Structure 1
Amino acid sequence: MTTVTKLQTGPVIDETVRLLTEHYVFPEIAGQLADLLRRRYAEGAYAVDDAAELARLVTTDLRSVNGDRHLGLHHHADQVPEKQGAAVLESIRGDFDTSLGGAPRVELLDGGVAVLELAPMLFPLEWAAEPLAAALALVSRARALIVDLRANRGGDPDTVAFVCSHLLDKRTHLNSMYWRDGERTEQFWSQPHVPGARFGGSKPVYVLTSNHTFSAAEELAYDLQQLGRAVVVGERTRGGAHPREGWTVHPHLEVSIPVGRAVNPVSGTNWEGVGVRPDVPCAPADALDRAHTLARARLTD
């Protein structure tokens, strides 16, 4: 049920500025954005009665300095809980329940080539481990694997590591995250053991991407590409490499702030702002056929 709550823009802007200053992974840019939001508020730019319109206006300003697509003020039609991160979890639970846990398609194509679609997200691992393990075990006997991320909008780096663990033979350093909180770096590794069967690290893997592929889905494509484990086929991805947290600043508004940045151990950088560049560029609609052709050709070499 949708609840109408009177919008007071001043407290929303004040709290957004406070959270930016305390948590954004780039403190200098946080200061610039804080000044921008205060100035725009003083100018009357946010004098609106509609929470969705305020979210649009503030998000445009938040992304105007460095183009960080994880920065934003998000509107939720239904009232969201105040607990940090709860708004996103509540909003994606329905997607999880209606997508077979984020693995809505498993198919065997000609030549023993399996397709595993991971969409619409790489859900939190505590939710997704069981359905993903089942799907990955099912495709483990295929001669080649196509992982379809064209409609995947992101998710959990732990889930990225879980998927990679099924596609590698040994424990491998995948990615590192520098966190603003405590100025620490956390490493993400594939695991030496997986539940069920493993596809392994020697058979061909292709990853399909599009301009909709974002965030953790980009990390999955980028990690496998940088390791030389997969061929990326399709369109350049959106370019969001900063893990984010969400805070409720109004019953219908959640501010999204990146609290870390990815550092790949192979490239020494990440895909922020530039996206993951495909090894085989093509239109997303053609990517599956192109990858299938490539896989069959490789299997007959």
Structure 2
Amino acid sequence: MAHHTPPLLLMLLLCTLSVNSSFQPTLVLEMAKILLENYCFPENLVGMEEAIRQAINSGEILQISDRKTLASVLTNGVQGALNDPRLTVSYEPNFVPVMPQMLPSLPIEQLIWLVRNSVKLDILDNNVGYLRMDRIIGEETATKLGSLLRDNIWDKVAHTSSLILDLRYSTAGELSGVPFIISYFSDSEPLIHIDAVYDRPSNTTKELWTMPSIMGERYGKKKDLIILTSKRTMGAAEAVAYTLKNLKRAITVGERSAGGSVKVQKIRIPQSEFYITVPVARSVSPITGHSWEVSGVSPTVNVLAKEAVAKAKSLLAVRSGIPKVLQSIADVIRRFYVFTDRVPALLQYLQSTDFFSVISEEDLAVRLNQDLQTVSEDPRLIIKCMQDNAAILEEDPELYNIPDDLESLKKLVDTTIKVEILLNNTGYLRIDKFVKSYAGTKLEELMAKKVWEPLKDTNNLIIDLRYNTGGSSTSLALILSYLQDTSQKRNFFTIYDQIQNTTTEYDSLPQIAGPTYGSKRGVYVLTSYNTASTGEEFAYLVQSLHRGTVIGEITSGTLMHSKTFQIEGMAIAITVPFINFVDNNGECWLGGGVVPDAIGLAEEPLKVNFDL
């Protein structure tokens, strides 16, 4: 918490003090002596006593006649020098120290009354336990009340499905009670070193460990535990919350706690009516190397203390659904995921990973999405939270149910394809959707007449996919065949379908209805960030086949050949690819935006390329 204090700093501090005939220099020296013997960070006091002597002897101390002012100046000085706000000096001529009565010495009836008023248990809906502890009961008291606590509290808690431990009003208690609570929410083995408390007056360190055996049945490590804290939560309750949070055993909900201390004493400065309050012991967590003292325990979920119970209930509802979500996702991956060799690793991840820190459906979706993509190395495998029950987009059935009558076919072609001859005899073909078509069909004959006849004698060809939102991948082989020489057979791409368990190779077609454009003339494909799905596949294939130049913006990165399943009763959905699209080089394309050969704004490429 603090650092070594240079003697010069204390000299500067003491040069701001004054000691007249009523305030002898011994006041400051006695204060320093108390700190040296009692302050829990003695290593920060190196050189302090000598610095004080030098400051007093230097004669530079100014006069301060008011005792309360002197106490205030001393407080500011010692807090600033040692970086510890718990150190205070007060002038209290009428102070009467009150020794708090030790709980174990109270009659058993008073102990029972105290426990019943400071520990309350309720069983909420869905067998959620609610345990409010306003005081952490020490080891001796707990031993004295053993069967009462076991029968009325701990054994009843043990049979709840999850627990809310409310420490928002816990402002008192004994540190010796902390190991039992931590042990209750832990396994018997291995023992856990949970705290180390250094006591300066005795110069001893006491280690706190979990207990190998406790009275009654343990709650264990499996069931959900939510701890509620407020800005009033102090002392031993902070030790409980801090330890269980950092052991990853509990999620803390509410406000940052008070930041109390293990032990603070108010000590009279000899031969005076001044008192100095000193932290005489310190806690250092072996789990974190730090402490909850002064800074408090920060909540995992930050809400107002009055809203903490409601938040905890909603959080437990989310967490209770996690096993079902994981099972549903595992079932979808097992049945549909196209990379069957990666399925075992994904299922192992879902089975073995601890989702302790999940605090919302969104949080679960983000974590699952990131981790599953890392394990699978596949950006198409997506977990997301469906905001406001957003509809799951299905592929357009029009792409697969092609009409038979000529008028409907003409209308389909007219709405998806546009052909022009531009300046310098440059052909222009705009395709807004790839409809499902095969060689030898009425649709292919219609397209040959509308598209390839007008374009057959152009010098170059611009294929505009800037408004293309996708369509059927099966039509790509036919269009690409027009851009090749029919005399040369070439593999364009392969599709593996996990659901159908089929592998289909798409090669250049030996016979097509219209005139081939061939492989010699230039082809320029225009893209935009709206270009999606099959439009991206076409641009990707043009690059992998080295059959054209892609110009414009990076495409949308819309993932295709996937199915989306919403988890029942949750706002979480999984999108899983069931088809692999493999290019002519044997590379499996995992989607993502196609990067053009020449990047430019989508509005610009036509102007640039008119003069090709």
| TM-score under structure 1 length normalisation | 0.73
Counterpart amino acid of residue 267 in structure 1: T
Q: Structure 2: which 5+ residue stretches go unaligned?
A: 1-21, 323-612
Residue 308 of structure 2: which of 283, 287, 301 is its match? Answer: 287
For 1:102 and 1:13, locate their aligned partners in 2 and report how far apart those are by CA, in whole Å.
45
Query: Residue 249 of structure 1 corresponds to which residue in structure 2?
Result: 268
1:102 and 1:128 in contact (8 A); partners too: no
Query: Residue 38 of structure 2 corresponds to which residue in structure 1?
Result: 23
How far 1:223 moved relative to its partner? 0.5
How far 1:207 moved relative to its partner? 0.6
How far 1:141 moved relative to its partner? 1.2
Task: Go from structure 1 to structure 2 and tell me whether the alpha carbon gap of 1:21 and 1:200 turns closer, same or farther (over 3 Å shift).
Answer: same
For 2:198 and 2:128, locate their aligned partners in 1 and report how far apart those are by CA, in whole Å.
37
1:46 and 1:57 in contact (8 A); partners too: no
2:265 and 2:280 in contact (8 A); partners too: no
2:172 and 2:236 in contact (8 A); partners too: yes
Task: Go from structure 1 to structure 2 and tell me whether the alpha carbon gap of 1:207 and 1:132 turns closer, same or farther (over 3 Å shift).
Answer: farther
**SS at structure 1 position matched to 2:173:** coil
Query: Residue 390 of structure 2 corresponds to which residue in structure 1?
Result: none
Residue 266 of structure 1: which of 287, 291, 306 is its match? Answer: 287
Counterpart amino acid of residue 141 in structure 1: H
For 1:235 and 1:23, locate their aligned partners in 2 and report how far apart those are by CA, in whole Å.
32
How far 1:284 moved relative to its partner? 0.9
Query: Residue 84 of structure 1 corresponds to which residue in structure 2?
Result: none
For 2:289 and 2:114, locate their aligned partners in 1 and report how far apart those are by CA, in whole Å.
34
**SS at structure 2 position matched to 1:259:** strand
- Aligned residues: CA RMSD: 4.1
**SS at structure 1 position matched to 2:130:** strand
Listed as ranges, the matches of 1:75-86 within 5 Å are: 79-80=96-97
Listed as ranges, the matches of 1:14-53 within 5 Å are: 16-27=31-42, 29-30=44-45, 43-44=63-64, 47=67
For 1:33 and 1:88, locate their aligned partners in 2 and report how far apart those are by CA, in whole Å.
33
Task: Go from structure 1 to structure 2 and tell me whether the alpha carbon gap of 1:27 and 1:200 turns closer, same or farther (over 3 Å shift).
Answer: same
Residues 131-185 of structure 1: per-residue CA shift (max 9 Å, x gap): 6544233312111111111122243221111111111112322112234356544
Residues 224-280 of structure 1: per-residue CA shift (max 9 Å, x gap): 01111000111112234x422535539x99754323322222212223443212111
2:138 and 2:177 in contact (8 A); partners too: yes
1:101 and 1:132 in contact (8 A); partners too: no
How far 1:115 moved relative to its partner? 1.3
Counterpart amino acid of residue 290 in structure 2: T
**SS at structure 2 position matched to 1:293:** helix
Q: Structure 1: which 5+ residue stretches go unaligned?
A: 1-7, 82-86
Q: How many residues align?
A: 280
How far 1:195 moved relative to its partner? 1.2
How far 1:33 moved relative to its partner? 8.6
Counterpart amino acid of residue 190 in structure 1: T
2:245 corresponds to 1:225: yes
Using CA pairs under 8 Å that are at least 6 residues apart, name the structure with larger relative contact order, 1 or 2: 1
Rg bigger for which structure? Answer: 2
For 1:117 and 1:277, locate their aligned partners in 2 and report how far apart those are by CA, in whole Å.
19
For 1:145 and 1:198, locate their aligned partners in 2 and report how far apart those are by CA, in whole Å.
13
For 2:117 and 2:196, locate their aligned partners in 1 and report how far apart those are by CA, in whole Å.
24
2:88 and 2:277 in contact (8 A); partners too: yes
Counterpart amino acid of residue 215 in structure 2: P
2:228 and 2:308 in contact (8 A); partners too: yes
Listed as ranges, the matches of 1:90-129 within 5 Å are: 99-100=114-115, 103-119=118-134, 121-129=135-143
Task: Go from structure 1 to structure 2 and tell me whether the alpha carbon gap of 1:284 and 1:58 turns closer, same or farther (over 3 Å shift).
Answer: farther
Percent identical:
27
| TM-score under structure 2 length normalisation | 0.39
Counterpart amino acid of residue 319 in structure 2: R
2:171 and 2:235 in contact (8 A); partners too: yes
Query: Residue 213 of structure 1 corresponds to which residue in structure 2?
Result: 233
**SS at structure 2 position matched to 1:136:** helix
